[in-house]
Every structure is written in C-alpha cells, then in structure tokens.
Structure 1
Amino acid sequence: MLHIHLLPRTLDLLWDMEKQQSYTTKMLLLRFYFIKIVRCEEDVYNRTVTFLPLEENTEGKYLVKKCNIYQIQLKHIKDEEWSVSVVAPFPEDWFSDGIVYPKLAWLGNELLSKLAKWSVEQKPSEFKNTLSLISVAKYSKVYQDLKEKYKEMVKVWPEVTDPEKFVYEDVAIATYLLILWEEERKEKGLTKKQSFVDLGCGNGLLVHILNNEGHPGRGIDVRKRKIWDMYGPETHLEEATIIPGDSHLFPDTDWLIGNHSDELTPWIPVIAARSSYSCCYFVLPCCFFDFHGKYSRRQSKKTQYREYLDFVAQVGFVCGFHVEEDCLRIPSTKRVSFVGKTRTYPAAEGALIDEQITQFINSRRSCAVATCDRRVGFNHEHHCGGLCKEADSGPPEDETQTAGTTWMPGFQPREKVEQVRNCASLPRDFVDEVVLSVANLLLSAAPQKSCSDEQGGNMNTWNQGESLSLREVAEHLDKEILKKLKSEYGGLQTLLKNNHQVFEVLNGRVHIRDWRKEKPPSKTKPEVKRRLSAEAFKTRLCWFFIHHPDGCSLPSEACPYAHGTEELRQSQMIKKKKHIQ
C-alpha cells in the first residue's frame, strides 16, 4: 500500500502555491478531486507527497488507479538551500488524455520549474480558487464528455478566430453552467431544465451546446456569424441590437448569460434584476466597459482587471443579488466570473431596489463614485451602503427614466459591421518606417551581440542585437507614430507581431528574429498549412538581405524570402484569384 508522507510545513508550502496558480497546475496539486492525501506524522523527514489518482466507479466508490502516480519531494541541501523534485515511479504506466492527465514530460518541463519558482515567491493571489462553486469531480467528467462530443467543431470552424481556443473555452463554460444549473435544480427541487438568454452570444457555440443538452434558450448578437448556419434549427440565435431598457427585459427567462459581452457586461445584472424577481445571471467579464462607454480607472492600488471585476460585482450587489465569484478553467487570462442566483431583499421591496439601481447608474454617469473597497464577499449593507448614500446626495436629474424605455441615453451598442483595426490598414510606407526604426534600435541598443555560425568551414558572425521591452521600444518612438498606432487595436505590439519576418515578441520583449533557429516545416503539419507555406516561398523580398548590416543569416537557397528581385516568384494566391475572375 502506498502512503503519503508529508511534513506540515511542506503541505503549507504546496497549498499556498496551489492557491496562486492556474487551473492546469491546480489540477496536479492538492485541491484536485481525484487526489487523496494521507498524512503520516511518523515520517516527517521524508518530505514527500505521493499523488494517487482516484476514479469513481458506477457504485459511487473511489478506486486507486495503478497509472499516473507521481511524487513531489522537498529536500534540504544545506543552510538555506533546498531542492524540489518530481518523480514518476512507473513511467511505463503513464496515460495522458489532455484533459485530466497531462503528458508525462509536462511534469518535468513545466511543473518542476514552476514549483521551484513558487516556493520562493511571496505573491498573494487576487482571485478565488478555480471552480469553487461547483463539484470539481462532476466538472471533470462532464467536460471530458462534452469535449469528445464537440471536438469535430474544431475541424469545420469557419471563423477567423482560433478554433481550439474558442471551441474548448465554450465547452468549458457550458460544462460549468450545466453543473451549476443541475445543482440549483436539486437545491430548489426543480424538475424542468432552466431557460436562458445569452446576450452578446458571438459565435453562438455556447447556445448550441446548451440547447443540445436540453436547456431552452436563445442567443442574441448584433452581428450574425458564419458558423450560425451550421448549427441547424434546434439552435436558436437572433441577430438584433440590445439597448438596455424596458423593451429588452426577459420576464420568462431563468438565467441571463454574459460571456465576454463587452458593453453589455455591467448591464446584465440590471437587466436580470428588472426582468423578474426569479431571474438569475452569469457574467464573465473581459473588455472593460462602464454603463455609458469604456471603463475609466479610479484606483491605483489594484490592477485594472481586479478593479473592473470589483465594479461588476458591485453592480450585482446594488441590484440586490448575493454575488458569488468563481474562477473558470478556460484557456484565457480573463477567467473570473460572477453568479447572481439569490436576492438580498424580499420581493415586496423590488421598487426600492429599482430606485437604488437608477441612482447608482446616474452616479456612474456623473462620476460620483465612492472610493471604499468594493471587494466581493463583504456584507451587502456595508459593501454598497456608502455608495448608495452618495448617489442620494446629489445625482443629476433622473435621466435614466426621462428617456422613456431607454435606461441610459447615449448608450453605444457594438457596431453591426465590425471594424478591422489590426494595423492591416496602415500605409505600407508607415509600417516600413516603424519596422526599420525598431530594428535599428534593437541593433544599436547595446554593444553588438553577435552569433557565430559555421558555414562552409568559415566562422561568420551575425548581429542579433539586443532585446527590449515593448515599453522601452515605445519610449524611443516619435509621439505622432505612437498616436497613430494607438488608433489601431493592438498598437505597437500588433504591428511588430504582424512583421514576424523581422521580429519575435515573447513575454512582452521584442527580439530580432534569427531564422537559423527556426524549426524546419514539420511533416505532421496540416496539409493546408504546408501547401500555403510552399506557395508563399520566395514571394516576398528578404528584409534582412536589404536592411540588416550583416545581411541575411541564411544562405539564399535556405531563406524562404527572396534575396533580390531576380529570385521573386509570383504569389500562387494571386494566380488563383485571377483564374477565378
């Protein structure tokens, strides 16, 4: 029988690390549902934690799996020097499914280095643990089933967005909601599955999954997506503009969903509160919007993301909800969600709450906002009482009601036709000027950092330049250039990433790309990508051949770009277009 030997201080160390980290790592640390820890005080010198995967059988009993056993060991070397190691005693039995169990190499290449880093960090987390409001065991099983069910969507995804990210993210959100709603039905003794409306539903995949799983509901978005036609008539999607007001209430709906709903995000608790006393909401904030436009920061002691989350939570409190915060397991940096499923007031006091909501919206419009701490979890009366009093003290005349059915005159919904602002519309001469300026900056930022490469028996040096942070690069550019870039989504970073022939942007730092370090095209690469790569070969001039003081780091026959106009080939894409015409 395998035991887990654990020194109390080691447990505390690992637990602190677990509370701070992403869901992938949490899955492998103490909190995850299938890990069972047995604490044996008699062997405190071993300082080893052994993780035993448990799986639930059909009878509800947990059995130890014989595969995927691993250990984390903390060892004292001398003085203040310690080492941490990860050991898989039976690597031949390791199984990876990409969901619950990672690849074995991940333990050594990723987890080990992170454990070493976290063990010396003093960095408290701003956020809740992942999936704190639902059963993690149920989540893992349902997610695995849904991922298998909808994995084919990745192959047929017609949008320009990354299919793997968006498909699996929506599968994860759907999983969360399905379990949340299942537990709500048990709590309230409901037999009928909850209805919903997804406001700002985007690609509609979340609606598609929820409809398929038996929940009646629909999605509404200002703009129809290509993929909508692929779902079939059982998925209910509507192309319409939502203006917060009396004409957009949903009295017969159980739940409102705001999944990266942008300008509608702060309005969703308001719409839920005014739709009916029983209407609940789920919101996953992403872009920062206030009631009337972009959200403006008001504090400097918090990150912008944390401050905005606190604002969205505060809206829910003002609307009379018990707001619960949770952190989802999705491939996104914006993973914090809010759930409002119960009220802080009896139904008879609805008119008072409605007046409070109106005053709060007006206070935001006039920037009369209290500076008290609005963290989730405080008592509701203390949490928003000061703000409500401030709103009472001098809000503007009741503008939100004088506009008839519209709660915020001047509210700007998303444009029906999406503007593409990814630096692609910038003049070519302007882009070339910025690229050359940044490249020269990197090449002259420090004494020449040369890289040796043996070609034909001779040692040739090629200047790689220095790496600089995006901020450092921006500080050296002309203000007018930065102003022009600021009008484009992504700005400087997007422009540099678009020019990937010249630059690499990694972890916020800009590097000159060295094509000798690029991996050759993989034989396993999808056929479409391999064909496009072959068609693009030598269709553009090599920037390094023309501009770099040492020329190109690759010989002409190995460089994918043309060393001179005589090597240029006509793009196959242009030929195809001409043929079609």
Structure 2
Amino acid sequence: MGPVGTAVVRDGGAALPHGFWAAVRVWLEKPQVANRRLCGAAIEAEGTVLLGDGGEGSPQLAAGGPGRELRAVLRTLLPRARPAGQPASPTKELAVQDVYSGTVTFLPLEENNEGKYQIKKCNIYQIQLTHIKDEEWSVSIVAPSSEDWFSDGITYPKLAWLGNELLSKLAKWSVEQKHSEFRSTLSLISVAKYCKVYQDLKEKYKEMVKVWPEVTDPEKFVYEDVAIATYLLVLWEEERKEKGLAKKQSFVDLGCGNGLLVHILSNEGHSGRGIDVRRRKIWDLYGPETHLEESSIMPGDSHLFPDTDWLIGNHSDELTPWIPVIAARSSYSCSYFVLPCCFFDFHGKYSRRQSKKTQYREYLDFVAQVGFVCGFHVEEDCLRIPSTKRVCLIGKNRTYPPTECALIDNRIAQYIQNRQTCAVVACDRGVGFNHKDRSDVCKEAGSEPPDNEMETAGRIWMPGFQPREKVEQIRNCAALPRDFVDDVVLNVANLLLNAVPQKSNSNMHGGNMNTWNQGESLSLKEVAEHLNKETLKRLKSEYGGLQTLLKNNHQVFEVLNGRVHIRDWRKEKPSRKTKPEVKRCLSAEAFKTRLCWFFVHHPDGCSLPSESCPYAHGTEELRQSQTIKKKRHI
C-alpha cells in the first residue's frame, strides 16, 4: 500500500475532523456525485465491530492494538452504464471506519463457491485524515501498486482518478460548511431498485427524444419524466409489498402537460389518465392506450376521484395546493404525489412572508402544511432530475381513522376560508400573507366554517378560482411592445451611464479602455426605484419582471448576482458549453442582422470596431437573417 495522492487543507472554520467523516459519508452513500458512472450505492448493513488480532491474510486496517471499536458499513455499488456484451453487476464493498486513527478502509468483496463473501486481494484502498499543525490538515488516499489494482472503468476507475478527482472532492467536502435544507436524494425508496428500473425505462423510451414535436427541450423533458415515472413505479411497488396489494395502483395526473408521464405509467401496467386544459401535439403520438383529456379542472365536487389510488401533480402550478384537498375528499384510500414548481396558493399567486427561509423552502412548507391539514402523514424526498425544483411531497397514509372524515372535511374548509380571508387582508394592507407554523394549523382550522362556506363546499370549493388558460400566454417579456421595451432599455442604460461622471469621446468607436464610459452597476432594486409606477406595474405581470426584460436585452446589459451592468463586449469570452462548429454556425447566421445598440445610443459609440462587432454599425451593414431564409426555403 502506498500513497496515490495527498491534499493539504486549511480549516479556518473548525470543521475538522467532523467534516472529514461527513465527506466520507457522502462518498459511502452517494458515490455518484464523484463518480458519474455510478447510479448510486445501497447501504446493506452497518454497525460496530471490535478490532481483532488480524487473522492471516487480513489487511492492516489501522495502527494500534486489538480491542478498539470500529464502524463497519456494507454497501453495494450500482453502475450507471452497462458494459457492452455483459449485464451490469453491482459490486459489494465493506468500509471499515476507525475514528481514533482517522482512517476508512474500503475492502472489495467477492462471492466464493459456497455463496459466501470474502475480501478480495486487490483494489483495497484507504482514505486518511492527518492533523499537521494548527489549522493545517491533510487528506490522503493510499492504495496498492498498479499490479494489484484492476480498473473496470466504472466501479473502480484508475488509480490516478482516486488520487486526483476523488481526493480533491473529499478535501473540498471536508471543510465545507454547507447544510442542506432538503432531504437526501431518493431517501424514501430503494436506490438499487431505482437504478435498475431507470436504466430499463431510459432504454425503452429513448426514441421519444427523436420524435418530440414540442418546442421544449426533448432530452430534458423525456429523461425528467422517465426519472419521475421510475420514482413512482418503485414507490408503488414498495407500497404493494407493504400493504399486501396484488393489483397495480391506478392514478390521475392533474395538469399532465405533454402526457409522457401518463404514457409511461400506463405502458408499465398502471391504469390511469391525464387531464390538462390544453392539448399538446405529442398526444397524437401515444396511441389509444394512453388516456389524455383536454379539460379545465375546477376544485369542487365535480372533480373528485373516488376510484383512484393516486393523484399526481407534476408541475401542476395553480392546482398544486388543491391536490392534497382533492385526494382527501376523493376517498379515504386516495394518496397523492406533488412536485411543486411555480408558487400558487388556493386563490392565486402565493405571497410569502419575510423570513430567513428561501421562497422555495417556504412554499414547500406551505404545501406540506396543506397535506397535514387534510389529515396526511406528509413525506418529503428529492428526485434525481435535471431541475432546480426537484423536491416532491407525498401523502400516502392518514393521521385519522375513517370515522373522522367529516371532521377533517370541515377542518379543510375552514383552513381554505382562512387562507382566502388572510390573503384579502394582506392585499388591502399591501403586505404578503404570513402563514402560521404547523403547530397553529389545527387552531386555525378548528372552528366551524361559516354557512356560506359550507354551501360552497357542496359545489365549487372556491368561487373565482382561475384555472390555467387554454391558450398559453407568453409572459417572459418577449411579447411586450417593442416601443415599451426600447424605452425601458434606454432609461436603464442612461441611469447606469449617468451614475458616474461621463468620459465621453464620440470618436472613440472601438477605442481606449480608459475613455469608453462603462457606467456604474446598480442593484435591481435601485433600478426599479427610478422607473415609473405604470412601467413597474406592466413588468410585474410578466414572469421575472424587470430582471427578465434586462436579461432578454443581453446585447446591452449583464445581470450578475442581482446587480445590473452595462455589457462591455471587449471583455466577452466564448462560451465553453457550445461546441465550436455549432458556435461558428450560429455566429454566421446572426452576424450583422441587428443594429448595434451602442453605436446608436451610447455617448461613446460602440467599444468594438465595426469588423469585430457582431451587430451592424448603421443600416448599410445590416444583413438578412439566415434563419428566416431557411424557414422560407422549407
């Protein structure tokens, strides 16, 4: 055994040695965050063992005498990719932690002829923490020589990967002071089952990417829905085992969008349907076995699902808080799964309170609170999907017996009424609604609802509820009148340019770095304070408001960390994300197809010479867009 790498770390925040063991835990439970060829790891067993005398052939785990207590963890490494020509074979590994000496040793296991596991002679490695002095520590990895290390490129990468990639991540994690406000990914289901089902479904539905007729990114939406379907299939399989059910669960997806999730779940043997206010082009590709309905959903007695096992809300927007209510009132056995995205209350947009929580965390707590009021044990989990909004809430079991359904129904009605009343008061006062903590929920919802609310509960639960519009409105500032946008851009640019003394030189087109006025940077709040009320009101109706408008006009502005800057094109660097050949193609098509804003409006003109600027310096340089020509040709 010899060192394959050592990283020296400075621990100014007193994170070590605790941070080292937290980093080791990440590598034990979630190895895929370092090794992208792994799907995850399943912890099979763990417990304490005594360090013995060390039998013949046993590797040296740590210095010191026998009798010391060690922590042993048995895990199975789950490959993400399947090597060509052979099935994926999960690898079992025993990790032995010695807190006293600051080491953790990884021992690969192999099955013998008798079906028992024994330690392999190769691919043993150890991670060590050493205190050097004061705030200085080192994290090291030791492993056998290359003759005793066999890399399969998946479960066991090359030794150089251990000494570089893994070591750098462990060193970084060891001194990080990050505490997540969310649960670990896939904490409620078996990771091993998830990985297997996901690989099968990904292979089965990969052709959907090629025939995707929507304008949305096919890879993101297809693989995201495959991942959500995988999660539900594993969750439902475990529920059937837990409750002794033979029949597969039925479902209704409320606000099903492109319907792919419905299509996959139906194909995998679950009877169900999807409902959405707007039909999508891709619905025609699924066939008659996938049941999709174009209809608006009004929360009320006409939209209950007494024969359905599960209600799904996948980015269901204004229906999200209603789904626990609909599930509770549909039947005592109805469960729900919601994946909140946009923030909606029962009556419209969700108004947050001033708190230390992020808006996302606060909204998740609100939706969980709704589930609690509806009498559900609410569980939270993180999905493995390509999205920043990946926390799901699950209401599977009830907190009350069936005899108390009427009592819970009254509690729900009162809670909804109180939310609506508080929202009206908050609107009148011009402040956000401050919803109470979970401990106050029963007090808030405990009294009898007023007569008119009880009457309403028999028909539509909230008169005035606005379902999603059938025609999808564009609210990303792209549909705003050009004159309005140009006026805002000019006003904001002048505000930034006049925030510092002018260094104007009208003849310096593409001139000196010291004479071209770059303006000052201002926060979005400061910029908004200089715009009139009518402008702000109009922007508020758009998603993202002022920030979105400024980002859309990226020729002129750069928005970084909530601050607005005048873009200096001399400092622009080519994006690493775009492939060179694609970038050249895009640049050629767009080159000189729009007027240069700086040439027309900036007091010093454009900072680039005409031949370097991608925009036209005057109408005589304007070219027809190649994209338009292609469309006409098609």
Normalising by the residue count of structure 2, what TM-score does the alignment of the two structures yield? 0.73
Higher mean alpha-carbon deviation, 144-153 vs 193-202, is at 144-153
Bigger Rg, structure 1 or 2: 2
Q: Which residue of 2 aligns with 1:38?
A: 95
Matched residue type, 1:316: G
Change (3 A) 1:402 1:427: closer
Deviations 1:141-180 (A, max 9, x none): 3223323333333343332333333222222211110110
Q: Which residue of 2 aligns with 1:502?
A: 556
In structure 1, C-alpha distance between the alignment counterparts of 2:193 and 2:462, rounded to whole Å? 41
For residues 433-472 of structure 1, the aligned pairs below 5 Å read 433-442=487-496, 467-472=521-526
Q: Which residue of 2 aligns with 1:119?
A: 175
Structure 2 residue 450 is the aligned partner of structure 1 residue 396: yes
In structure 2, C-alpha distance between the alignment counterparts of 1:107 and 1:414, rounded to whole Å? 53
Change (3 A) 1:10 1:262: closer
Of residues 352, 360, 365, the one that matches 1:310 is 365
Change (3 A) 1:177 1:74: same
Deviations 1:373-424 (A, max 9, x none): 22xxxxxxx67432333x33xx432425346421222211111111112212
In structure 2, C-alpha distance between the alignment counterparts of 1:304 and 1:271, rounded to whole Å? 25
Matched residue type, 1:197: V
For residues 180-199 of structure 1, the aligned pairs below 5 Å read 180-199=235-254
Higher mean alpha-carbon deviation, 272-281 vs 349-358, is at 349-358
Q: How many residues align?
A: 553
Change (3 A) 1:438 1:12: farther
In structure 2, C-alpha distance between the alignment counterparts of 1:106 and 1:448, rounded to whole Å? 55
In structure 1, C-alpha distance between the alignment counterparts of 2:218 and 2:162, rounded to whole Å? 23
Q: Which residue of 1 aligns with 2:227?
A: 172
Alpha-carbon offset, residue 576 of structure 1: 5.6
Matched residue type, 2:98: E
Q: Which residue of 2 aligns with 1:295?
A: 350
Change (3 A) 1:174 1:447: farther
Percent pairwise identity: 73
In structure 1, C-alpha distance between the alignment counterparts of 2:121 and 2:538, rounded to whole Å? 60
Alpha-carbon offset, residue 228 of structure 1: 1.6
Change (3 A) 1:258 1:431: same
Q: Which residue of 1 aligns with 2:49?
A: none
In structure 2, C-alpha distance between the alignment counterparts of 1:48 and 1:541, rounded to whole Å? 63
Higher mean alpha-carbon deviation, 187-196 vs 74-83, is at 74-83
Change (3 A) 1:140 1:440: farther
Structure 2 residue 484 is the aligned partner of structure 1 residue 420: no
Matched residue type, 1:313: A
**Contact residue 373 and residue 441 of structure 2 kept, 8 A:** yes
In structure 1, C-alpha distance between the alignment counterparts of 2:341 and 2:143, rounded to whole Å? 38
In structure 2, C-alpha distance between the alignment counterparts of 1:549 and 1:370, rounded to whole Å? 48
Alpha-carbon offset, residue 108 of structure 1: 7.0
Q: Which residue of 2 aligns with 1:378?
A: none
Alpha-carbon offset, residue 535 of structure 1: 2.7
Alpha-carbon offset, residue 225 of structure 1: 1.4
Alpha-carbon offset, residue 484 of structure 1: 2.6
**Contact residue 366 and residue 396 of structure 1 kept, 8 A:** no
Of residues 239, 246, 257, the one that matches 2:312 is 257
In structure 1, C-alpha distance between the alignment counterparts of 2:346 and 2:534, rounded to whole Å? 31
In structure 2, C-alpha distance between the alignment counterparts of 1:520 and 1:301, rounded to whole Å? 35
Q: Which residue of 2 aligns with 1:411?
A: 465
Unaligned runs of 5+ in 1: 375-381, 450-455
In structure 2, C-alpha distance between the alignment counterparts of 1:465 and 1:76, rounded to whole Å? 49
In structure 2, C-alpha distance between the alignment counterparts of 1:469 and 1:399, rounded to whole Å? 45
For residues 157-306 of structure 1, the aligned pairs below 5 Å read 157-298=212-353, 300-306=355-361
**Contact residue 25 and residue 111 of structure 1 kept, 8 A:** no
**Contact residue 13 and residue 119 of structure 1 kept, 8 A:** no
Of residues 1, 18, 24, the one that matches 1:9 is 18
Of residues 382, 385, 392, the one that matches 2:442 is 385
Matched residue type, 1:9: H
In structure 1, C-alpha distance between the alignment counterparts of 2:473 and 2:214, rounded to whole Å? 16
Alpha-carbon offset, residue 332 of structure 1: 2.1
Normalising by the residue count of structure 1, what TM-score does the alignment of the two structures yield? 0.79
Alpha-carbon offset, residue 560 of structure 1: 2.3
Structure 2 residue 544 is the aligned partner of structure 1 residue 535: no
Secondary structure of 1:242 counterpart: coil
Alpha-carbon offset, residue 503 of structure 1: 2.9
Change (3 A) 1:117 1:187: closer
Unaligned runs of 5+ in 2: 7-15, 43-75, 78-92, 424-432, 504-509
Alpha-carbon offset, residue 8 of structure 1: 6.1
Secondary structure of 1:38 counterpart: strand
* Superposed CA RMSD: 4.7
Alpha-carbon offset, residue 25 of structure 1: 6.8
Matched residue type, 1:119: V
Alpha-carbon offset, residue 568 of structure 1: 1.0
Q: Which residue of 2 aligns with 1:430?
A: 484
In structure 1, C-alpha distance between the alignment counterparts of 2:527 and 2:124, rounded to whole Å? 47
In structure 2, C-alpha distance between the alignment counterparts of 1:388 and 1:95, rounded to whole Å? 57
Change (3 A) 1:492 1:243: same
Secondary structure of 1:247 counterpart: helix
**Contact residue 318 and residue 345 of structure 2 kept, 8 A:** yes
Secondary structure of 1:181 counterpart: helix
Change (3 A) 1:373 1:50: farther
Alpha-carbon offset, residue 117 of structure 1: 7.5
Q: Which residue of 2 aligns with 1:571?
A: 625
Alpha-carbon offset, residue 440 of structure 1: 4.4
**Contact residue 17 and residue 119 of structure 1 kept, 8 A:** no
Alpha-carbon offset, residue 268 of structure 1: 0.9
In structure 2, C-alpha distance between the alignment counterparts of 1:145 and 1:548, rounded to whole Å? 57
Secondary structure of 1:434 counterpart: helix
Secondary structure of 2:293 counterpart: strand
Change (3 A) 1:124 1:251: same
Change (3 A) 1:309 1:423: same
Secondary structure of 1:179 counterpart: helix
Alpha-carbon offset, residue 264 of structure 1: 1.0
Q: Which residue of 2 aligns with 1:138?
A: 193
Alpha-carbon offset, residue 128 of structure 1: 1.8
Q: Which residue of 2 aligns with 1:377?
A: none
For residues 348-363 of structure 1, the aligned pairs below 5 Å read 348-363=403-418
Change (3 A) 1:42 1:226: closer
Q: Which residue of 2 aligns with 1:345?
A: 400
Of structures 1 and 2, the one with the larger relative CO (CA 8 A, separation 6+) is 2
